[in-house]
């Protein structure tokens, strides 16, 4: 090229400058195309963790994370990574509502590690697909709780029934919560679940393989599989993964112990220490969860003379 330029009467310095300018022009033209070929990922998949028992504080954290995910234009799809045995009805419904809103805006897939039961299952219902491990536990469509015990009126009360709760009111509320949960399950997954409404309402839990067979879950797979699925639904050929952890402080577990004894529970008299105040008494899980084909370990309580089995009703007295 320098020889060709010399033929048009350019000096040596001018010839070199011309070559440099041509090289720069070629570089500027090809750089964007090269960047397209070797550039970064097409988009991002966010993994939001829902771990531990669900209570108001934890639900607010998850809700905040999902809101940020929806507002973040760089995030194209979302995976809910669930390992929760449940929690308060209000907190579980709060996450469910936020997840549903997220799923309406971006692809949403769920992945269950250890447990996605009761409120944990409720929270991930809006997911387009639910991935479980063979050892995961999912299900328990129900609400557990016992009504506040009628208490003696406070000295300052003018009416004899002030501070007392009617057990029928609590039973009605519990039944309403259970129906709300059940209706959501049938609405979100009724076309996939192979069981009828009455069977679903039995609050049984299922291990991963069985959950896929009966429609409580969709696929056997890991969180990585769920992320890949979410990315495909968002049309991403390449993607990066952003993990967004949520607080995992312990709270109350609301799982149903039905007549078949599918879940071992123990009543906590005053879970927040509000002695003398009429509040709902929720249920803690203290034993193993029984799947449909497994036996549940009994709660054993020593009475000094030996070891005796005790039911939730027998345990619900005053704490030492």
- pLDDT at residue 33 in the model: 52
d(CA 84, CA 123): 10
pLDDT digits (tens, 9 = 90+) for 12-69: 776 676 666 766 665 666 555 544 445 678 899 999 999 999 999 999 999 999 999 9
- pLDDT at residue 279 in the model: 38
- pLDDT at residue 285 in the model: 33
- pLDDT at residue 244 in the model: 81
pLDDT digits (tens, 9 = 90+) for 188-219: 998 999 998 988 888 889 999 999 999 999 99
Q: What is the pairing mode between strands 219-220 and 129-132?
A: parallel
Instruction: Tell me the CATH number of domain 43-315, given options 2.40.37.10, 3.30.470.10, 3.40.50.620, 3.90.226.10.
Output: 3.90.226.10
- pLDDT at residue 179 in the model: 85
Kindly report the pTM of this predicted structure: 0.64
3 state SS for the chain:
CHHHHHCCCCCHHHHHHHHHHHHHHHHHHHHHHHHHHHCCCCEEEEEEEEECCECHHHHHHHHHHHHHHHHCCCEEEEEEEEEECCECHHHHHHHHHHHHHHHHHCCEEEEEEEEEECHHHHHHCCCCEEEECCCCEEECCCCCCECCCCCCCCCCCCCCCCCCCCHHHHHHHHHHHHHHHHHHHHHHHCCCCCCCHHHHCCCCEEEHHHHHHHCCCCEECCHHHHHHHHHHHCCCCCEEEEEECCCCCCCCCCCCCCCCCCEEEEECCCCCCCCCCCCCECEEEEEEECECCCCCCCCEEECCCCEEECCHHHHCCCCC
What parts of the chain have a pLDDT lower than 50?
Answer: 2, 5, 34-37, 145-164, 248-288, 292-320
Domain with CATH 3.90.226.10 in the chain: 43-315
- pLDDT at residue 158 in the model: 44
């Amino acid at each position: 090229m320098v020889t060709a330029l010399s033929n048009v009467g350019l000096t040596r310095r001018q010839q070199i400058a011309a070559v440099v300018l041509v090289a720069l022009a070629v570089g500027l033209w090809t750089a964007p195309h090269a960047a397209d070929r070797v550039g970064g990922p097409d988009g991002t998949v966010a993994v939001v963790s829902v771990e531990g028992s669900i209570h108001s504080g934890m639900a607010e954290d998850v809700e905040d994370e999902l809101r940020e995910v929806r507002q973040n234009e760089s995030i194209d799809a979302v995976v809910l990574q669930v390992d929760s045995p449940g929690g308060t009805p209000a907190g579980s419904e709060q996450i469910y509502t936020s997840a549903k809103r997220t799923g309406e805006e971006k692809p949403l897939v769920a992945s269950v590690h250890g447990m996605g039961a009761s409120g944990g299952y409720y929270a991930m219902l809006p997911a387009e697909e639910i991935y479980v491990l063979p050892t995961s536990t999912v299900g328990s469509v129900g609400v557990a709780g016992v009504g506040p015990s009628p208490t003696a009126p406070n000295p300052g009360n003018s009416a004899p029934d002030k501070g007392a709760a009617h057990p029928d009111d609590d039973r009605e509320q519990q039944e309403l919560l259970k129906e709300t949960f059940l209706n959501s399950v049938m609405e979100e997954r009724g076309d996939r679940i192979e069981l009828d409404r009455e069977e679903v309402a039995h609050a049984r839990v299922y291990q991963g393989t069985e959950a896929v067979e009966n429609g409580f879950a969709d696929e056997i797979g890991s969180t990585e599989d769920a992320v890949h699925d979410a990315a495909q639904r968002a049309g991403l050929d390449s993607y990066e993964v952003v993990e967004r952890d949520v607080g995992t402080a312990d709270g109350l577990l609301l799982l149903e112990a039905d007549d078949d004894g599918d879940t071992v529970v123990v009543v906590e008299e005053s879970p927040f220490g509000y002695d003398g105040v009429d509040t709902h008494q929720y249920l803690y899980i203290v034993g193993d969860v029984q799947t449909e084909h497994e036996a549940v370990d009994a709660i054993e309580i020593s009475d000094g003379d030996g070891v005796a089995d005790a039911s939730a009703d027998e345990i619900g007295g005053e704490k030492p």
